[in-house]
Amino acid sequence: MTILVWNCRGLGRPQTVQDLVRLVQVHRPKIVFSSETCQRKEVVEGLRWRLDLKNVITVAGDGKGGSLALFWDDFF
């Protein structure tokens, strides 16, 4: 099983999203964990379709801190 962990410092930039999508396409991880996403929950949850992963859970940041996102595919 492959797991991708990335401190991306913001998923709001198109280039950052493209880089993440490219990494997922190349390595085909079952789990992707992203910290410091700095985006609203709805934006991050919408990325699961671009990443071709079926599930996502997000945790909003507090104050200036970024947020967290965990994407995963079905394991079976």
58: part of which helix (H) or strand (E)?
strand 55-59
Nearest CA among 49, 50, 42 for reference residue 58: 42
pTM of the model: 0.86
Nearest CA among 42, 46, 36 for reference residue 11: 36
* Segment 48-65 mean pLDDT: 85
* Exposed / middle / buried, residue 26 (Cβ in 10 Å: 0-12, 13-18, 19+): exposed
User: What percent of the chain has a predicted confidence (pLDDT) above 90?
Assistant: 50
14: part of which helix (H) or strand (E)?
helix 14-27
- Whether CATH 3.40.1350 fits 3-72: no
**With bands split at pLDDT 50, 70 and 90, how would you rate the model's confidence at 30?**
very high
